[in-house]
């Protein structure tokens, strides 16, 4: 009476099967882990909301001053209303699609409208798209390109495709 030994597949075949299974698993994970453009835009807007309310601070200085303002003094929400129903008058103009995207006379200059790039340039320089200088009380920010894009995504919501 002989005992039959179990039949083992060759090692190469097992290795190939494992590699194939790993690729299938990675492909499946990659397909479900990808964020849609709407998800990416929502994440940018959420970061922008934190910049606006100061929970994620941006470094800002007053015109002509080298000292960085405390984050509690330089948050947008101190002076501007968020893009939502207006609750109370603000010290500075509202920051929403209707006020930023529509050509308007601002600070005595000619009509101008903001783009994402001109908004970022204004945050940094204190000079608006019509080349009019903002009030000295408006901080000039050391905003990164990512911070500018995040803040713009919060202020200028676009309809989602869902």
Q: State pLDDT tens for residues 31-86.
A: 455 667 788 889 999 999 999 999 999 999 999 999 999 999 999 999 997 776 66
15 pLDDT tier (thresholds 50, 70, 90)? very low
Q: What is the DSSP letter of 139?
A: P
Ordered by start, the domain boundaries in the chain are 38-155
Q: Are 38 and 30 in contact (CB under 8 A)?
A: no
* Closest-CA residue to 52 (of 105, 128, 119): 119
Q: What is the pLDDT of residues 126-152, one digit of tens each?
A: 999 999 999 999 999 999 999 999 999
At residue 136, the pLDDT reads 93
Query: Sign of torsion, CA 31 36 40 45?
Result: negative
Q: Which residue has the higher pLDDT, 55 or 4?
A: 55
Say what the pLDDT of residue 36 is: 79
Record the tokens describing residue 121, joined without a space: 């340039």
Work out the number of other CB atoms within 10 angstroms of the CB of residue 79.
Answer: 15
CA quadruple 112, 114, 117, 121: dihedral sign: positive
What pTM, to 2 d.p., does this model score?
A: 0.72
Integer Cα distance of 119 and 135 in angstroms: 15
Quote the pLDDT of residue 63: 94
Quick one: which of 142, 121, 143 has its CA closest to 132?
121
pLDDT beyond 80 at 92: yes
Distance CA(47)–CA(36), nearest Å, equals 17
pLDDT above 60 for 118:
yes
């Amino acid at each position: 009476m002989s005992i039959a030994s179990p039949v083992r597949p060759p090692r190469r075949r097992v290795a190939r099967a494992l590699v194939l299974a790993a690729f299938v698993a990675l492909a499946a994970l990659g397909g479900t882990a990808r964020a849609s453009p709407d998800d990416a835009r929502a994440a940018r807007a959420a970061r922008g909301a934190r910049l606006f309310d100061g929970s994620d601070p941006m470094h800002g200085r007053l015109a002509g001053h080298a000292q960085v303002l405390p984050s509690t003094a330089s948050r947008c929400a101190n002076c501007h209303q968020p893009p939502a129903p207006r609750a109370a008058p603000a010290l500075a103009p509202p920051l929403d699609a209707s006020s930023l995207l529509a050509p308007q006379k601002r600070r005595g200059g000619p009509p101008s409208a903001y783009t994402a790039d001109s908004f970022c340039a204004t945050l940094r320089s204190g000079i608006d798209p019509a080349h009019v200088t903002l009030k000295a009380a408006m901080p000039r920010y050391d905003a990164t390109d990512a911070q500018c894009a995040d803040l713009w995504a919060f202020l200028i919501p676009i309809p989602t495709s869902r």
